[in-house]
A and B are shown apart, each in its own frame.
Chain A
Amino acid sequence: MTAPDLAAGTGARSPGYYLRLIGGQLRMSVLAALQYRLGFWTEGVLGVVWSALGMAPLLVAVEHLETVEGWTAWELVVLTGCFTLVSGLFGALIQPALNESMNHIRRGTLDYVLLRPADALVLCLVTAFAPWRLVEALGGLILIVVGMIEIGRVPAALDILSALGMGVAGMVALYAFGVMILCASFRAVQLQNLTFLIEAILDFARWPAQVFRGFLRMVFTFVVPLAVMTTYPAEALLGRLEGSTVVTALATSAGLMLVARVLWLRALRGYTSASS
């Protein structure tokens, strides 16, 4: 089998076109979201409430132990802020696109998405947004700022850059998993339930990576890099992240995206399209 052409189907499309495409889709999603104004409450506010509720186990741990693996209470607030930010972005950007793509597959309307003159994967990943979930992301940002203020530390420019880099790497990893699940759902519609798996696992990113030992630590750093999504950005802001870790984290995410891309091209080749 010849090496898959990773750029297959992209043709000569400028980045400007893709930006316009994303803009167009965003406009559609915002219009649809505004039709459903209740969404501010059900998706936005409720998202924040969920995040707060999810903090319960962490709070229990902090109450019984002074520090959790060397993280003080306010440092954990920063970590929780990173988590809430990632969770909100996931809910606003990745989850809706995944769900909508899977709806398309179930209804048989993915055909229309695939007929658009652009890279099919990008098309699927921008097919829907949930703007109200950005409220949650905003909440996370506020938590980070509050935490940093209480700790009394102003992060250096390099720290902020590292934190952003790790955040991006974390999002890329989440995108990669989303794509892998999408590919799986081509073959068996029931595998769409794997999105619940992502959400469930994501929950463990609330905890500092140091809490996990041995095998699980490996898994959560290199296979499902929860550490990269929350612990590393928080550590970067706290000035505790080493350069080598940054590099390996970026490499892990890039690797995952590569695997996802290959699986996607395979899935497209075997696409059967719901029968009419």
Chain B
Amino acid sequence: MSHVATDMSGETGGLRRLGRVTAAMWRLGASEALAYRAAMLVWILTTTFPLVSLALWHSLAGGGAIGGYGRAEFTAYFLAAFVIRQMTASWVVWDLAAQIASGDLSTLLMRPVHPLLHHLMSNLAALPVRMMLAVPLGLVVLIFVGDVEADAGLHLLLAPAAVLMAWLLNVSVQIAVACLAFWVTSSASLFELWLGLYMVLSGYAVPTGLFPAGLAAVVRYLPFHAALGFPVELTIGRLSGPEIAAGFALQLLWLAVFGALALWLWRRGLRVYGAVGA
């Protein structure tokens, strides 16, 4: 880990120091991400699920549009889902849970940087590498499939915000689940529960708008949709103004809920962790 200079000169000094430390952690995270390029590749391959779904629905829509999605719209949807999934993914849950279980968390706690921040940085640092591998793949598919129907407009400016919130939401959920490891041994399998529901209810496997009417309305209120379906639909321009506002509100709501839950579990968990003397 690169040298962290201790700067005692008060507030601005503290901020400068935080900036330096954050940059150092980012560099370290990026190096680690590159070192595990095999894992990266595997990750990318695993999350090409939307691209195969694309082929699937593209073919199914051959006889005509399905619920407002024609072939071109499906293409746009799943390509966006692929890229946004890559951008909002994290694996904090496995890393953190493992660290808690093995006691390795202690080393992180002794560093002058908050462990959660460390994990956030690691995740972000891997983003360029993930993009480097994912974007070419997406482009190839785009060229291969050909027709794409998406609206380019002002809403695109809002897309980054939605993606950022989705990422934070995912991370919060993962941290909350990981913190359960302070009390329970198999918290990772609880996350698999979440992941299973996510695959179906977030719009990953099929746009939530295609669910039967009543069901669709309910599903679109859930945090899963806020974590993927909403940013995707926003990006390809399928949402009206009011719908965009509602979507952001929901994202904020779920982020607040899971963020608070994560922090609360973290604090309670640390107390237990210390008590056991791991």
Q: Which residues of A contact B (CB under 8 A)?
A: 42, 46, 50, 53-54, 56-57, 60-61, 63-65, 68, 188, 190-191, 193-194, 196-197, 200-201, 203-204, 207, 211-213, 216
Q: Is B59 within 8 A of A193, CB to CB?
A: no
Contact of A191 among B42, B67, B196 (CB under 8 A): B42
Q: What's the Cα separation between A190 and B206 when bound, in Å?
A: 30
Return 29 A-B CB contacts under 8 Å, by A number: A46-B193, A53-B197, A53-B200, A57-B53, A57-B200, A60-B206, A60-B210, A61-B60, A63-B212, A64-B66, A64-B67, A65-B63, A65-B66, A188-B38, A190-B38, A190-B42, A196-B46, A197-B45, A200-B46, A201-B52, A203-B49, A204-B52, A207-B56, A211-B56, A211-B59, A211-B60, A213-B55, A213-B59, A216-B52
- Give every chain B residue within 8 A of A197 (Cβ-Cβ): 42, 45-46
- Give every chain B residue within 8 A of A188 (Cβ-Cβ): 38
Q: Which residues of B contact A (CB under 8 A)?
A: 36, 38-39, 42-43, 45-46, 49, 52-53, 55-56, 59-60, 63, 66-67, 189, 193, 196-197, 199-200, 205-206, 210-212
Q: What's the Cα separation between A216 and B52 when bound, in Å?
A: 8
Q: What's the Cα separation between A250 and B231 when bound, in Å?
A: 45
Q: Classify the interface of chain A: helix, strand, loop or mixed.
A: helix
Q: What's the Cα separation between A182 and B96 when bound, in Å?
A: 26
- Give every chain B residue within 8 A of A203 (Cβ-Cβ): 49
Q: What's the Cα separation between A42 and B211 when bound, in Å?
A: 28
Q: Is A56 within 8 A of B200, CB to CB?
A: yes
**Also in contact, A200 and B36, with CB within 8 A (given A64-B66, A190-B42, A216-B55):** no
Q: What's the Cα separation between A207 and B60 when bound, in Å?
A: 11
Which partner residue on chain B sits nearest A63 by CB separation? B212
Q: What's the Cα separation between A274 and B241 when bound, in Å?
A: 58
Q: What's the Cα separation between A203 and B46 when bound, in Å?
A: 12
Which partner residue on chain A sits nearest B60 by CB separation? A61
Tell me, rounded to whole Å, the shortest Cβ–Cβ distance linking B218 to chain A: 13
